[in-house]
């Protein structure tokens, strides 16, 4: 197998990884990515197949271990739905799906609409950083409401989340690990106290539902309850923040008019935004058995990187894939994963985009970039460090 070299922290790659993806994909579906030390899949067919192949999964074959200073973070990871496989995954996901029914998501719409208008009302005069003032606030406050966590905790939750999620980014250091462990310990302690208060005073929220499931003997342990709440709070906003930020950047940079955000067209526009510049570019799997994919034989325990951002620009499925075209017929992209681990919050993320984008461009019809936005050095996530605009 051929080997590719590309530092995930190289500034040119961080700002635009797509030329590298195109070169890799054109030469073959699978390569050894030297900097990660694992085989990587770049084309849509291979990525989609690996997402759905039950010979591959997220849960490590040996218990997750690490140095003592990482103990609080490792405790959360060991009990996370994201790192689980059946039967544990089946049980945890079934409980979480109680909050993500179509009706439950639809019921959030009026509150999201009102939130979007309030945030725009609060924009300062002159320049505004939409990433912090709008793109971050919409999903983090919405997920707080869904779980029942006080909205006043939103900024604290963001700090904890950013510290924990940094563990998945390239260039992880001892400082990163200590910050993640500290955030994990504080986040877990907060949730233990909050769960105790919810036991005494139940509410109409997901945390109360998960507590009830635990008490009714559905084998949700206290550690699983805490890890599930942390995952939902982290994953419930991290991807949507950058889906909104990347999407607004794309709409402004391409001069896409507000007519593409009209009710009859917006669903196709959102899918094209998610395809064109998704917030998550890499997801990994372990091989649980020997398997041959695209001519390569994976051995039990091998890890494989699925390049979601590369798969979304595969010309075999999308003609002229580097062009943003909201008129494209909708084709299933890989931005929310697939198979058993398809993102449970995808319907909520799409709803937030469906509401937040038209409201923003309707309220700010002369919205324009104040400076060229730059992407943060956070691969395998792909999101802006700021999005400074003139709203009026």
Q: Would you place residue 335 in the very low, low, confident or very high pLDDT band (cuts 50, 70, 90)?
A: very high
Phi first, then psi, for residue 257 (nearest 5°) are -75, 165
Residue 97 has a pLDDT of 83
Tokens of 184: 């994990």
* Residue appearing with tokens 């320049």: 127
Specify the pLDDT at position 209: 84
How many Å apart are CA 376 and CA 373, to the nearest integer?
Answer: 10
Q: Closest by alpha carbon to 163, among 138, 182, 143, 139?
A: 182
Find, among 349, 383, 388, the residue nearest to 242 by Cα: 383
What number is the average pLDDT over the span 303-330?
96
Determine contact, residues 271/312, Cβ cutoff 8 Å. no
**pLDDT at position 214, please?**
64
8 A C-beta contact, residue 341 and residue 314: no
Are 43 and 311 in contact, with CB atoms under 8 Å apart? Answer: yes
**Residue 343: both structure tokens together:** 């993102």
Tell me, what's the pLDDT at 94? 86
Burial status of residue 368 (CB atoms within 10 A of its CB: 0-12, 13-18, 19 or more): exposed
Q: Cα separation of 33 and 238, whole Å?
A: 26
Report DSSP state, residue 132: I
Tens of pLDDT, residue by residue over 47-58, are: 999 999 999 999
Structure tokens at 351: 């709803």
Give the span between the Cα atoms of 387 and 82, in whole angstroms.
30
Query: Is the pLDDT score of 228 beyond 70?
Result: yes
- Give the containing element (helix H, strand E) for 291: strand 291-293
Residues 335 and 247: beta-carbon distance below 8 Å:
no
Residue 162 near residue 52 (C-beta atoms within 8 A): no
Give the residue-averaged pLDDT of 98-106: 81
CB 328 within 8 A of CB 318: yes
Q: What is the pLDDT of residue 219?
A: 67
Distance CA 329, CA 42 (A): 22
pLDDT in tens, 260-301: 999 999 999 999 999 999 999 999 999 999 999 988 999 999
Distance CA(316)–CA(331), nearest Å, equals: 12
Answer yes or no: is pLDDT of 217 > 80: no
> Does residue 38 contact residue 303 with C-beta atoms inside 8 Å?
yes
Greatest pairwise CA separation for the chain in angstroms: 60
pLDDT class of 215 with cuts at 50, 70, 90: low
| Residue 62 reports pLDDT greater than 70 | yes
Q: What pLDDT score was predicted for residue 312? A: 98
Burial 267-280 (b: 16+ CB within 10 A, else e): ebbbbbbbbbbbbb
Domain boundaries, the chain: 3-390
Instruction: Please give the order of strands across the beta sheet that includes 38-41.
Output: 3-4, 30-33, 38-41, 303-307, 282-287, 56-57
Q: Is 263 exposed, middle or buried (0-12, 13-18, 19+ CB in 10 A)?
A: exposed
For the domain spanning 3-390, the CATH number is 1.10.630.10
Closest among 387, 365, 384 to 375, alpha carbons compared: 384
């Amino acid at each position: 197998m051929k080997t590719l070299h590309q530092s995930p922290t190289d500034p040119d790659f961080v700002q635009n990884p797509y030329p590298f993806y195109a070169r890799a994909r054109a030469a073959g579906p699978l390569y050894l990515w030297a900097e990660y030390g694992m085989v990587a899949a770049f084309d849509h067919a291979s990525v989609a197949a690996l997402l759905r192949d039950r010979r591959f999964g997220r849960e490590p074959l040996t218990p997750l271990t690490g140095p003592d200073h990482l103990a609080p973070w490792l405790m959360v990871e060991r009990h996370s739905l994201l790192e689980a496989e059946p039967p544990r995954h089946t049980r945890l996901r079934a409980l979480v799906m109680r909050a993500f029914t179509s009706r439950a998501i639809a019921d959030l719409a009026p509150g999201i609409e009102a939130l979007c208008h309030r945030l725009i009302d609060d924009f300062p005069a002159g320049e505004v950083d939409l990433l912090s003032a709008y793109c971050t606030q919409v999903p983090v406050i919405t997920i707080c409401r869904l779980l029942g966590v006080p909205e006043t905790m939103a900024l604290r939750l963001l700090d904890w989340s950013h510290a924990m999620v940094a563990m998945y980014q390239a260039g992880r250091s001892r400082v990163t690990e200590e910050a993640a462990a500290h955030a994990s310990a504080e986040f877990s302690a907060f949730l233990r106290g909050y769960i105790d208060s919810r036991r005494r005073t139940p509410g109409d929220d997901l945390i109360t539902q998960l507590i009830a499931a635990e008490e009714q003997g559905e084998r949700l342990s206290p550690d699983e309850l805490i890890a599930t709440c942390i995952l939902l709070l982290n994953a419930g906003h991290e991807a949507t923040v950058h889906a909104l930020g990347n999407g607004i950047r794309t709409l402004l940079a391409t001069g896409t008019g507000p007519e593409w955000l009209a009710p009859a067209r917006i669903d196709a526009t959102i899918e094209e935004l998610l395809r064109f510049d998704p917030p998550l570019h890499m997801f990994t799997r372990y091989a649980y058995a020997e398997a041959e994919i695209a001519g390569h034989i994976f051995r039990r325990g091998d890890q494989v990187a699925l390049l979601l951002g590369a798969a979304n620009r595969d010309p075999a499925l999308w003609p002229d894939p580097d062009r943003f075209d909201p008129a494209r017929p909708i084709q299933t992209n890989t931005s929310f994963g697939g198979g058993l681990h398809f993102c449970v919050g995808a319907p909520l993320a799409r709803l937030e985009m469906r509401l937040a984008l038209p409201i923003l461009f309707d309220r700010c019809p002369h919205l324009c970039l104040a400076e060229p936005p730059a992407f943060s050095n956070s691969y395998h996530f792909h999101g802006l460090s700021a999005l400074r605009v003139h709203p009026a």
